[in-house]
Structure 1
């Protein structure tokens, strides 16, 4: 399965927000950097907007932790109900036609909610309810998007996979 970069921006933003919250790195500068890295234009964040986005990131985490397709869909539907505005097709900045889930004029927290809710919904549909997860290493739990060919990724990175493999090997030898 091949995933196009343009369709992945909101999904990667969702991952960044979830991991920013769980890593303890949350702060105005880190949040603004994440928003800019993922193309959220005019992303100046005030205290109340930052608090609202942080609360939203906590609501995004269950999308990655869901144990079944049905559970993931239920969580995403709640996000869509609360975050996605009126969806429309647009072109701008020499980009191909793409969907917007909130008008550019909305405040930054509304745009973040809309783009992440819409993107995880589209990605989940394209990935048949799979390919969103959290690292299988108990001490990590970093959220990730699986864009691998096989779609069987269980760890956020090779380091966590190797750490767990070494742990399992040592347990077996005992």
Structure 2
């Protein structure tokens, strides 16, 4: 789940106009990317990649989402292999640790989005239904029917709908 949560964090970071090498580095550390020293060129390459990930969350159909993820996989994932480093349970890597930061970010996000999309049957990746928000999110709820990124946005939209009703 690290890859899909990193993808969400990057997409949301890019859309908030707070994209700086320092904030990117914090997001990468938070999502367990090792050695996340971010240079300006790496930051710009990761930002360009992040813009390519947004359509995965905005897709209107399973087929569109799969097509977007496949494009990311083609450009970001290398050969997949199983590893058990740092006393972690066996897990997949989509790029060797020796690759540069931007290659590793591309690989982990493309692979994470692919695995999550497969496991969620093409669903559960979305953007907030509140028109003024558009925050990307991963729906990990039991029923998989979340439409909003947070309870706050859901309540805001409910209040707006209520106030528009004729009395």
The verdict on a shared fold, with TM-score over 0.5 as the criterion, is yes
Moved over 3 A (4+): none
Aligned residues: 167
1:63 to 41, 49, 56: 56
2:18 corresponds to:
25
* Structure 2 residue matching 1:93: 3-state secondary structure: helix
TM-score (norm 2): 0.99
Task: Say if 2:129 is the partner of 1:132.
Answer: no
Q: Which SS does the other structure have where 1:133 is aligned?
A: strand
Distance of 1:33 and 1:71 partners within structure 2 = 31
Cα deviation, 1:13-46, whole Å, max 9, x if unaligned, reads 0000000000111001100000000000011011
For 1:173, what is the secondary structure of its paired residue? coil
Q: Residue 173 of structure 1: CA displacement?
A: 3.4
Q: Please, what is the CA RMSD of the aligned residues?
A: 0.6
Q: Which residue of 2 aligns with 1:158?
A: 151
Q: For 1:33 and 1:68, how far apart are their aligned partners in 2?
A: 33
Q: Which secondary structure state, in structure 2, belongs to the residue aligned with residue 53 of structure 1? A: helix
2:98 to 105, 111, 115: 105
Give the gaps of 5 or more residues in structure 1. Answer: 1-7
TM-score normalised per structure 1: 0.95
Q: CA deviation at 1:111?
A: 0.1
Equivalent residue, structure 1, for 2:165: 172
